[in-house]
């Protein structure tokens, strides 16, 4: 997590000057999510906030997102918990609508061990298409490399897909953005399947500079 924040700060520091076109956006939004773990009985739902940083410079891109949510279980057997997550993605556009993307992510829960904290690398593809001059839609798919869990174990299959849409003003100063993200991590500990699954929707506004 610390590494992600440091990388984001560095990219912002060396980013374009304020005189250039809107290549930097800051955003804030609300989220709703469902988190499932271990078995059919462990499912949490909740709401929270997220913040985004979006930077584009020539063919390079950077997306940094932080999430904070309070999750409630649908069973009285487990307790409520708070989730804190940070994601960082760096992209390089190979053709106008397609970019390769790499990054890191980390998700933690409070109280400790109420759910699995996980950290991972990601490698994937981002495709973004304009719907009009003021709107665009994008989709992501990534493989999560070598997830690490605080409870131990490893994962055979770890993937994520996401969908986003943004509509803003023609000068790029203001944009409304909605994102959906799905994550599946097939965790296995000592031959026992303890899968993790996350489904998250965010909606927020962004200001461009």
Partner 1 sequence: MTRRLMLLAGLLLIAAPLAAQDNVYVRLAQQAYNDVDFSGAIDNARRALQEQLGREDRIVAWEILGYSYASLNRREEAVDAFHQLIFLDPDREPDVETVSPRITEVYASALSRILVVRRTNLDSASFIAGQGSVRISYDVSRASRAVVRVAGQGLDLTIDSTLVGAGAHEVFWRATTVSGDPVPAGSYQLVVNAIEGSNEFASPIDIVVRHAAVDTIWHLDSLPGYQEQPEYVRPSRDWRPLGIAVLYTGLVAGASVALENSALDVGERKELAGVSLLALIAGFAMSIKQPDPEPVQANILYNQLLRTELAKQNEAIARQNDLIRRQTMLTVVAVEEMEQ
Q: How many binding residues for partner 1 (CB under 8 A)?
A: 43
CB of 15 to partner 1, least distance (A): 28
Give the separation between CA 60 and CA 155, rounded to whole angstroms.
30
Count other Cβ atoms within 10 Å, centred on residue 157.
12
Give the separation between CA 133 and CA 102, rounded to whole angstroms.
27
Scored b (16 or more CB within 10 A) or e, 71-84 reads bebeeeebeebebb
Establish if 200 lies at the interface with partner 1 (CB under 8 A): yes
84's enclosing H/E stretch is: strand 81-95
Establish if 2 lies at the interface with partner 1 (CB under 8 A): no
Nearest to 156 by CA among 204, 191, 124: 191
Establish if 40 lies at the interface with partner 1 (CB under 8 A): yes
Please give the C-alpha separations between residue 5 and each of 1, 2, 109, in angstroms, as whole numbers.
6, 5, 18
User: In this structure, is the dihedral angle defined by the CA atoms of residues 72, 74, 75 and 78, taken in order, positive or negative?
Assistant: negative
Establish if 105 lies at the interface with partner 1 (CB under 8 A): no
Establish if 32 lies at the interface with partner 1 (CB under 8 A): yes
CB of 160 to partner 1, least distance (A): 9
Establish if 199 lies at the interface with partner 1 (CB under 8 A): yes
Binding piece for partner 1, criterion CB under 8 A, among 56-64, 98-106, 107-115, 123-131:
123-131
Burial of 20: CB neighbours in 10 Å, binned 0-12, 13-18, 19+: exposed
Minimum CB distance to partner 1 smaller for 8 or for 187: 187
Residues 164-183 that bind partner 1 (CB under 8 A): 164-165, 167, 170, 178-180, 182
Give the separation between CA 86 and CA 63, rounded to whole angstroms.
11
**x/- track of binding to partner 1 for residues 66-95 (CB under 8 A):** --------x---------------------
Q: Which of 25, 43, 106, 175 binds partner 1 (CB under 8 A)?
A: 43
Q: Which of 7, 26, 45, 174 binds partner 1 (CB under 8 A)?
A: 45
Contact residues for partner 1, defined by CB under 8 A: 32-34, 36-37, 39-41, 43, 45, 74, 127, 129, 131-135, 137-139, 141, 159, 161-165, 167, 170, 178-180, 182, 184, 186, 193, 195, 197, 199-201, 203
């Amino acid at each position: 997590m610390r590494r992600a924040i440091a990388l984001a700060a560095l990219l912002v520091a060396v980013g374009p000057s304020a005189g250039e076109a809107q290549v930097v956006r800051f955003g804030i939004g609300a989220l709703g999510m469902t988190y499932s773990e271990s078995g059919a009985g462990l499912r949490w739902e909740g709401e929270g906030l997220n913040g985004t940083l979006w930077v584009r410079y020539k063919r390079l891109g950077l997306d940094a997102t932080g999430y904070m949510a309070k999750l409630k279980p649908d069973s009285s057997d487990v307790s409520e918990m708070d989730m804190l997550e940070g994601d960082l993605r760096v992209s390089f556009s190979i053709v106008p609508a397609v970019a390769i993307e790499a990054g890191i992510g980390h998700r933690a829960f409070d109280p400790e061990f109420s759910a699995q904290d996980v950290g991972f690398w990601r490698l994937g593809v981002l495709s973004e298409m304009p719907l009009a001059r003021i709107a665009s839609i994008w989709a992501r798919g990534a493989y999560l490399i070598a997830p690490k869990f605080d409870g131990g174990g490893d994962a055979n299959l770890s993937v994520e897909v996401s969908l986003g849409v943004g509509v803003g003003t023609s000068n790029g100063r203001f944009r409304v953005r909605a994102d959906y993200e799905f994550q599946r991590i097939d965790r296995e500990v000592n031959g026992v399947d303890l899968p993790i699954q996350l489904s998250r929707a965010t909606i927020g506004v962004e200001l461009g500079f």
